[in-house]
Structure 1
Amino acid sequence: MIYKVFYQETKERNPRRETTHALYLDIDAKNELEGRIEARRIVEENTSYNIEFITLLSDQHLEYEKESGAFEITEF
């Protein structure tokens, strides 16, 4: 399952939409909740990012992300 993680690069400032970034993780999980928990764990262990939101991408959303040109799976 592919998850999109929205984050701020630092926890020092209040989140602003203009500075929100996203990364994509391929998580092998039994269900969506376990995948979100695992995605949060991975990002928190490997970065100092302020995680705003984690969402599971549907097939249609994944295709859109691939076509937009910004799609790249992040590996830690």
Structure 2
Amino acid sequence: MIFKVFYQEFPEEVPVRERTKVLFVEEENERNVCKKLADRNINIEYIQVLDGKHLEYEKNTTEDFRVEKL
């Protein structure tokens, strides 16, 4: 499955929408995404499953669409 991870680079700061970054990850489930990103020292705000038309939309509209395999 492909997940869209919304995160902040600085976990010690209060989340600010304008500084939210996005990461696309391929993993089996949301729990595995959290476990594998734990060592990156980021503040994960939200994890969203991408499939079907939503995934196609992201591929077509995101300039640097890259899926990481953790």
Tell me the TM-score normalized by structure 2.
0.89
What do you get for the CA RMSD once the two structures are aligned? 1.2
1:60 corresponds in structure 2 to 53
Q: How many residues align?
A: 69
Does the residue aligned with 1:13 lie in a helix, a strand or coil? coil
1:32 corresponds in structure 2 to none
Identity %: 38
Tell me the TM-score normalized by structure 1.
0.83
How do residues 1-76 of structure 1 correspond to structure 2 at under 5 angstroms?
A: 1-27=1-27, 29=28, 35-45=29-39, 47-68=40-61, 69-76=63-70
TM-superposition CA deviations, 1:13-47 (whole Å, max 9, x none): 100100000101111x2xxxxx01000111113x0
Please list every run of 5 or more consecutive structure 1 residues that lacks an aligned counterpart in the other structure.
30-34
Give the drift of 1:50.
Answer: 0.3
Query: How far apart, in 2, do the equivalents of 1:59 and 1:52 lie?
Result: 23
Query: How far apart, in 2, do the equivalents of 1:4 and 1:72 lie?
Result: 11
Does the residue aligned with 2:18 lie in a helix, a strand or coil? helix
